[in-house]
């Protein structure tokens, strides 16, 4: 993952606009922090730097109505671009960030995130077991888990027979998929899935295994219409594409509107990701950041966000407030037997990360 393009839809696009563009108000919110300073006497704004998928006017309006704090937003479409911006001094621009799990670890090691004062937070004990003290951030010392999900394949049932059940299907049915397949524009996800198809870990540091995944992806290039984390939805709905690699929130949303579409988590394993909320070490207006954290930790607000944005929640009380059809969704909340084959993506050492990037550049630029 890697991006820094404000207001560009990408990765896990928000649910209600999964096949359209962002609302005009959301786009209006994508402005430089501080571009419109509040009038004297008004509350200091909350400056958010987030995934496009998490931009939602109704969620923001609820917060502003409850607290009187205005919100200003910029968006990114990869962890890597967000990280580069913060390393370049952007931490002084934003009160809130949305780093994914493995980037939290890296940002902590780089000293970019504030240590959270848990005495100012309410609701941490409501987090479900795996998120009480996650491996990427023990005791949630620097981040609060917001959402989680899986990565898998969404396909058109009218075009593919037999249906896909695993990553290996991409190579087995390559001829049928020629120019009708999209993979994520994300080095760790796409090379990771290829590693999984070979029986290797997403997080391998073995150069031979990584090279084997690179060569396997090269073999698949004729079938790949595009490396795209976003923008493929309309083509899949129209039947121009047959199979797309995607995230579970779209895997849940699109079939609800288009019954011919199905989402599957590959049997050989996939990535299990968590997105978090964190405060940069040099954040402006940290008091507004804590107000946002507490707002998102409230079960009613967390449940509302789930229904607006379409992500799984780590909050037990928020889960309990969800409609039965969402609680029962095995796309959003897969059974333990499925999750057992998934793994989280973790940071790599510099040499291995450089190897991933070199192969990825060769794959995507050819």
**Contacts (Cβ under 8 Å, ≥6 apart) of 102:** 79, 136, 188, 344, 345, 346, 347
**Contacts (Cβ under 8 Å, ≥6 apart) of 189:** 1, 151, 245, 271, 345
Q: What integer pLDDT is reported at residue 19 of this predicted model? A: 30
- The structural domains of the chain, ordered by start, are 15-148+273-334 (3.40.190.10), 151-271+340-365 (3.40.190.10)
The pLDDT tens digits of the residues spanning 226-271 come to: 999 889 999 999 999 999 999 999 999 999 999 999 999 999 999 9
Q: Examine the pLDDT at 366 and tell me if it is beyond 50.
A: yes
Using an 8 Å Cβ cutoff, are 73 and 270 in contact? no
Q: How far apart are CA 130 and CA 138, in angstroms?
A: 11
Reported as half-sphere exposure (CB side, CA atoms, 13 A), residue 289 has a value of 30
Using an 8 Å Cβ cutoff, are 193 and 199 in contact? no
Q: Examine the pLDDT at 131 and tell me if it is beyond 90.
A: yes
Q: What integer pLDDT is reported at residue 42 of this predicted model? A: 60
Using an 8 Å Cβ cutoff, are 57 and 26 in contact? yes
With pLDDT > 70 as the criterion, what percentage of the chain qualifies?
88
Q: How far apart are CA 80 and CA 215, in angstroms?
A: 24
Question: Sign of the C-alpha dihedral, residues 198, 200, 204, 206?
Answer: negative
CA proximity to 142, closest of 282, 281, 334: 281
Q: What integer pLDDT is reported at residue 54 of this predicted model? A: 87
Q: What integer pLDDT is reported at residue 333 of this predicted model? A: 95
Q: How far apart are CA 66 and CA 14, in angstroms?
A: 23
Q: Examine the pLDDT at 24 and tell me if it is beyond 60.
A: no
Q: Examine the pLDDT at 144 and tell me if it is beyond 70.
A: yes
Using an 8 Å Cβ cutoff, are 309 and 14 in contact? yes
Six token digits for residue 62: 């609820």
Q: How many CB atoms lie within 10 A of CB 186?
A: 28
Q: How far apart are CA 7 and CA 273, in angstroms?
A: 23
Q: How many CB atoms lie within 10 A of CB 286?
A: 17
CA proximity to 27, closest of 12, 17, 37, 19: 17
Using an 8 Å Cβ cutoff, are 229 and 3 in contact? no
The pLDDT tens digits of the residues spanning 298-315 come to: 999 999 999 888 899 999
Using an 8 Å Cβ cutoff, are 362 and 194 in contact? no
Six token digits for residue 268: 């050989």
Using an 8 Å Cβ cutoff, are 85 and 76 in contact? yes
């Amino acid at each position: 993952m890697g991006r820094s393009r404000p207001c560009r839809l990408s990765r896990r696009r928000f649910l209600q606009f999964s096949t359209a563009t962002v609302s005009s108000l959301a786009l209006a919110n994508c402005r430089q922090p501080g571009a419109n300073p509040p009038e004297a006497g008004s509350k200091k704004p909350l400056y958010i730097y987030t995934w496009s998928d998490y931009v939602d006017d109704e969620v923001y309006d609820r917060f502003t109505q409850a607290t009187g704090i205005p919100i200003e937003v910029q968006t990114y479409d990869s962890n890597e671009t967000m990280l580069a911006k913060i390393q370049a001094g952007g931490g002084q621009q934003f009160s809130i960030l949305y780093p994914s799990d493995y980037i939290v670890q890296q940002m902590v090691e780089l000293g970019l995130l504030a240590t959270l004062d848990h005495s100012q937070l309410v609701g941490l004990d409501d987090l479900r077991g795996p998120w009480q003290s996650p491996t990427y951030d023990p005791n949630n010392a620097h981040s609060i888990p917001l959402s989680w999900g899986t990565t898998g394949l969404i396909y058109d049932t009218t075009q593919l027979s037999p249906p896909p059940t695993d990553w290996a299907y991409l190579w087995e049915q390559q001829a049928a998929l020629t120019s009708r397949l999209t993979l994520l524009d994300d080095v760790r996800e796409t090379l990771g899935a290829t590693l999984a198809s070979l029986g290797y870990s997403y997080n391998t540091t073995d150069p031979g295994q990584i090279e084997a995944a690179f060569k396997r992806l090269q073999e698949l290039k004729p079938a790949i219409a595009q490396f795209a984390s976003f923008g493929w939805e309309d083509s899949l709905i129209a039947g121009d594409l047959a199979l797309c690699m995607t995230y579970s929130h779209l895997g849940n949303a699109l079939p609800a509107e288009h019954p011919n579409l199905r989402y599957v988590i590959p049997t050989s394993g996939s990535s299990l990701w968590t997105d978090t909320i964190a405060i940069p070490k040099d954040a402006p207006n940290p008091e507004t950041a804590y107000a946002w954290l507490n707002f998102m930790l409230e079960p009613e607000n967390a449940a509302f966000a789930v229904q607006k944005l379409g992500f799984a929640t780590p909050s037990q009380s928020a889960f309990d407030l969800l409609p039965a059809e969402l609680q029962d969704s095995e796309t959003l909340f897969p059974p333990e037997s499925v999750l057992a084959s998934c793994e989280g993506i973790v940071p790599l050492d510099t040499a291995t990360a450089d190897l991933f990037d070199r192969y990825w550049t060769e794959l995507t630029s050819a």
